[in-house]
Amino acid sequence: MYDLLIIGAGSSGSAIAARASENPNLNILLIEAGPDYADTSTTPQDITNSHNNSYTAHDWGLNYNPTQYRTSPFPRGRVTGGSSSVNTTIALRGTPEDYDEWADLGNDAWSWKEVLPAFNRLERDLDYGDKAYHGDAGPVSIRRYPDAELLPAHQAFLASAGQLGYDDCPDANDPTGSGAGPQPMNKLGRLRISSALAYLAPARLRPNLTIRAKTHVRRLLIKNRVCIGIEVENSAGQTEQLFARTIVLSAGAIMSPAILMRSGLGPAAQLSKLSIPVVEDIPAVGQNLSDHPALSVVANVKSGVNINHDDPIIQTILRYTCAGSNKRNDLQIEQLSFAGRRQDPPRFAIAGVVEYQYGRGEIRLASADPMVNPIIDNRFCEDSRDASRLVTCLQDILRFTQSGPLADMIDSVVFPDPARGFDAASLDTLVRKFSASGYHPCGTVKMGPKEDPGAVVDQFGCCHTIDNLVVADASIMPFVPRANTNLTCIMIGEKIGEWLRQSPARYGL
Ligand SMILES: Cc1cc2nc3c(=O)[nH]c(=O)nc-3n(C[C@H](O)[C@H](O)[C@H](O)COP(=O)(O)OP(=O)(O)OC[C@H]3O[C@@H](n4cnc5c(N)ncnc54)[C@H](O)[C@@H]3O)c2cc1C
């Protein structure tokens, strides 16, 4: 019998395990479906190598439907560190306005003023650690490529951005910042600073923290509206039950709602169809899927321009506001160092991303079988406000390809097909069909006050209808912030971990 059992050693779960285990009175079990690598010398290269994402070796093998016209693979990390162990290491915070909007929805503990100390605590910013809005002593090291280390395409991208009139932004995490500059990244040299490395490496030495890897959570055990434990399939393939006073679900925005639904907590009609006994009808579970719709312009480069698939895939960023929008920094443009397969003609891509999303999708179970992955329907760009801003973003990107230092490197644009034209109507058709995920799913177990029918947990992560059950990961965000989501997930882990450490009684401990 543990005090605390955490499901999922990802960006949030690792931070929670580390912070909560600072309280020596809490006996904690951290469960992870994937493998655990205790030190970097035994960690496979796809996990340590920050130059590109790891897509298959430590992955859940999910598929998703970004739009009703397409299905494609949807990567999610299945290893300690979770998706932070396989990701691009972009270390960006949302805009202060995102968190203030969360607070306005009835979550006053998540305003910018309230989340900033956790953002500062999690980082060791090697460039701006002395600023009031940065930290210099946290577990996650963050740096930006200096000019001398920028690849020619990234130097050209920043030079073109200047010529096109975008502001220079040396620190994209400056809360007032906007414009083009180096990307803040949680990497040291080539080494990806995952949450496993940042949080679990030091915490695993504590006698009150046990990490159990290769253990797949099948469902929660609920008795008289109290969560008392979990049922797992262990590494030997046997079913086992584990018990704790409080369970924290940190399996991410896809798997957390799936585990809740498999446990009978979800939309009753959907569960009944799959013959899952309904424990509590919670229609909001799996709804409100929020993410960043994205589409890239792809260009073949001129002969003599070196494209190397082993280079860091990203180094720079442009955060800016769409013409006519009242949401600051609601668009992102990212220069990618290479695109396509190694055997393709040398090419790179420039990604356009809608950062403030209006549309919503949903997660549904395909089966009651815990080994069957859920269905992910994003419905990207069905909301015209998202479609029109992605169209504008693509048109803004195309200007980079027409004149200036970046255009000088380009032989031809190969996507979108120039023969179809780049007018708004043609691009609108394209984004509604081909927009894809920035891999930032959020919102599927939304936090909010009890009166909000869309809220499953309160602002401390406690489930409204089941006692001793806490949810803490990307799924509790009311909506995706205007930034890549890893730092915000770690911030969630920092806050809820700290509350568990300092005020265990709030969580039934
Ligand atoms: C390819 C890729 C690139 C990305 N690039 C960036 C980037 O550069 N910057 C950025 O900010 N964000 C990026 N993201 C997004 C970011 O990594 C995620 O938003 C963040 O890691 C999610 O944190 P989480 O704690 O919610 O979930 P995760 O980190 O995904 O953690 C969930 C954990 O739960 C475990 N789990 C799930 N189900 C079960 C089960 N049934 N039993 C036991 N364990 C289970 C998983 O294995 C996993 O370890 C990227 C994501 C991907 C996939």
Ligand 1 atom nearest to CA at 82: 49
**Mean residue pLDDT across the chain:** 98
Contacts of 168 (CB under 8 A, 6+ apart): 158, 162, 179, 180, 181
Annotated binding-site residue? 79: yes
**Domain range spanning residue 33?**
2-46+80-85+196-288+442-507
Judge if the beta carbon of residue 263 lies within 6 A of ligand 1.
no
Residue 60, pLDDT score? 98
CA distance 94 to 373: 29
- Mapped onto helix, strand or coil, the DSSP state of residue 10 is coil
Query: What pLDDT digit, counting tens, does each position of 379-434 carry?
Result: 999 999 999 999 999 999 999 999 999 999 999 999 999 999 899 999 999 999 99
Residue 253 forms part of a structural domain: yes
Query: What pLDDT digit, counting tens, does each position of 85-140 carry?
Result: 999 999 999 999 999 999 999 999 999 999 999 999 999 999 999 999 999 999 99
Contacts of 61 (CB under 8 A, 6+ apart): 73, 373
Cα–Cα distances in Å, from 366 out to 179, 215, 376, 475? 42, 21, 10, 19
Residues 425 and 465 in one domain: no
Reported as half-sphere exposure (CB side, CA atoms, 13 A), residue 74 has a value of 24
Residues 314 and 426 in one domain: yes
Residues 448 and 308 in one domain: no
Distance 274 CA to ligand 1 centre (A): 27
Reported as half-sphere exposure (CB side, CA atoms, 13 A), residue 416 has a value of 25
Query: What pLDDT digit, counting tens, does each position of 197-226 carry?
Result: 999 999 999 999 999 999 999 999 999 999
The predicted model gives 364-380 an average pLDDT of: 98
Residue 23, pLDDT score? 98
Contacts of 183 (CB under 8 A, 6+ apart): 90, 92, 144, 145, 172, 314, 315, 316, 317, 334
Residue 51, pLDDT score? 97
Q: Name 377's bridge partners.
A: 65, 362
Banded pLDDT at 366 (limits 50, 70, 90): very high
Residue 174, pLDDT score? 98
Distance 485 CA to ligand 1 centre (A): 9
Residue 72 forms part of a structural domain: no
Contacts of 257 (CB under 8 A, 6+ apart): 266, 285, 286, 363, 374, 444, 445, 475
Residue 92 forms part of a structural domain: no
Judge if the beta carbon of residue 247 lies within 6 A of ligand 1.
no
CA distance 133 to 43: 33
Distance 83 CA to ligand 1 centre (A): 3
Residue labelled with tokens 């910042």? 177
In degrees and rounded to multiples of 5, residue 461 shows phi and psi of 90, -5
Judge if the beta carbon of residue 26 lies within 6 A of ligand 1.
no
Q: In b/e form, how buried is each residue of 452-469, taking b as 16+ CB within 10 angstroms?
A: beebbbbbbbbbbebebb
Of all residues in the chain, the percent with pLDDT exceeding 90 is 99
Residue 142, pLDDT score? 98
Judge if the beta carbon of residue 248 lies within 6 A of ligand 1.
no
Residue 143, pLDDT score? 98
CA distance 16 to 30: 10
325: amino acid identity, one letter: S
The predicted model gives 323-329 an average pLDDT of: 97
404 Rama class: left (phi>0) / alpha (psi -120 to 50) / beta: left
The predicted model gives 265-272 an average pLDDT of: 98
The predicted model gives 441-450 an average pLDDT of: 98
For Cα atoms 253, 16, 50, give the angle at the middle one, nearest 5 degrees: 70
Residues 340 and 276 in one domain: no
Banded pLDDT at 284 (limits 50, 70, 90): very high
CA distance 409 to 320: 24
Domain CATH for 328: 3.30.410.40
Distance 327 CA to ligand 1 centre (A): 27
| Cis-peptide into 416, omega within 30 deg | yes
Residue 403 forms part of a structural domain: yes
Number of domains within the chain: 2
Query: What pLDDT digit, counting tens, does each position of 471-502 carry?
Result: 999 999 999 999 999 999 999 999 999 999 99
Residue labelled with tokens 């894809």? 436
Q: Are strands 191-192 and 187-188 parallel, antiparallel or unpaired?
A: antiparallel
Judge if the beta carbon of residue 252 lies within 6 A of ligand 1.
yes
Distance 82 CA to ligand 1 centre (A): 5
Annotated binding-site residue? 86: no
Query: What pLDDT digit, counting tens, does each position of 154-172 carry?
Result: 999 999 999 999 999 999 9
Distance 435 CA to ligand 1 centre (A): 21
Residue 223 forms part of a structural domain: yes
Residue 39 forms part of a structural domain: yes
Distance 438 CA to ligand 1 centre (A): 12
Residue 31 forms part of a structural domain: yes
Residue 358, pLDDT score? 98
> How many other C-beta atoms are found inside a 10 Å radius of the C-beta of residue 122?
25
Query: What pLDDT digit, counting tens, does each position of 22-58 carry?
Result: 999 999 999 999 999 999 999 999 999 999 999 999 9
Judge if the beta carbon of residue 54 lies within 6 A of ligand 1.
no
Judge if the beta carbon of residue 219 lies within 6 A of ligand 1.
no
Judge if the beta carbon of residue 139 lies within 6 A of ligand 1.
no
Which one of 87, 211, 260 would you pick to mutate in the ligand 1 pocket, going by the greatest count of ligand atoms within 8 A of its CB?
A: 87
* Residue whose CA is at the smallest distance from ligand 1 atom 3: 87
40 Rama class: left (phi>0) / alpha (psi -120 to 50) / beta: alpha
In degrees and rounded to multiples of 5, residue 289 shows phi and psi of -65, 120
Banded pLDDT at 324 (limits 50, 70, 90): very high
Domain CATH for 446: 3.50.50.60
Judge if the beta carbon of residue 497 lies within 6 A of ligand 1.
no
CA distance 489 to 260: 19
Which one of 84, 218, 289, 487 would you pick to mutate in the ligand 1 pocket, going by the greatest count of ligand atoms within 8 A of its CB?
A: 84
Distance 57 CA to ligand 1 centre (A): 14
Query: What pLDDT digit, counting tens, does each position of 222-243 carry?
Result: 999 999 999 999 999 999 999 9
Residue 168, pLDDT score? 98
